Chains A and B, each alone.
Chain A
Amino acid sequence: DAGVTQSPTHLIKTRGQHVTLRCSPISGHKSVSWYQQVLGQGPQFIFQYYEKEERGRGNFPDRFSARQFPNYSSELNVNALLLGDSALYLCASSLGTSGGTDTQYFGPGTRLTVL
């Protein structure tokens, strides 16, 4: 069974553009979370979705949005890109049924570079 997959693996954009990152969770997982990891730092929580509903949001501006589809895959959208948005964007999936204690499985990430 495949693990969490993310696409694309790498992406280069210029300031002001928008980007869409995609994530497919492990089969049977209903929860997807998104994280931003700047080089040399720990990941920062952006969003959590469970059963297509937003269940958590980190301290990110409204330029960041996400959604979860009926097949539990998810998209992260970032508008009006800034240089500071350059980071590794991680997606994690979990069963989502344990009230928050279930293990999250991370994908390989999408490396976004904003020039």
Chain B
Amino acid sequence: KNQVEQSPQSLIILEGKNCTLQCNYTVSPFSNLRWYKQDTGRGPVSLTIMTFSENTKSNGRYTATLDADTKQSSLHITASQLSDSASYICVVSVSKAAGNKLTFGGGTRVLVKP
């Protein structure tokens, strides 16, 4: 069964500090992995997307890593800001031949405190 597990479920950090979110998946056949940021009550916004051959990708203060061998990904937030408070969702896609289905993780809720 295709699954995406994220940890921790929630996280509180002080403004200016760094944090790392984890994502483990069992999705197969793997096509790509995406990280989204979702503010409360709004639709998710794409941060990064990585294919099998990519092991790191950055978007400003967000850096995602991918280890396709161990089926793990991480999202690192550098120098957190209050606006980083949101849910971060890891999404893994199966290949086009397998239907292009996306499996979403449950998300990590991040709260940045001043």
Q: Does A99 contact B (CB under 8 A)?
A: yes
User: Is A113 an interface position by the 8 A CB rule?
Assistant: no
Which residues of chain B come closer than 8 Å to A42, judged between CB atoms? 4, 6, 89, 91, 104-107
Per-position contact with B for A86-115: 1 when CB-CB < 8 Å, else 0? Answer: 000010100000011101111111000000
- Report how far A105 CA is from B36 CA in the complex, Å: 10
Q: A42-B89, A100-B31, A100-B93 are in contact. Are A106 and B45 (CB under 8 A)?
A: yes
Chain A: CB-nearest residue to B44? A106
Report which residue of B42, B93, B95, B102 has the largest number of chain A beta carbons within 10 angstroms of its beta carbon.
B102
Q: Which single member of B31, B45, B89 contacts A43 (CB below 8 Å)?
A: B89
The A27-63 residues at the B interface (CB cut-off 8 A) are 33, 35, 41-45, 48, 55-58
| Chain A residues near B (Cβ < 8 Å) | 4, 33, 35, 41-45, 48, 55-58, 90, 92, 99-101, 103-109
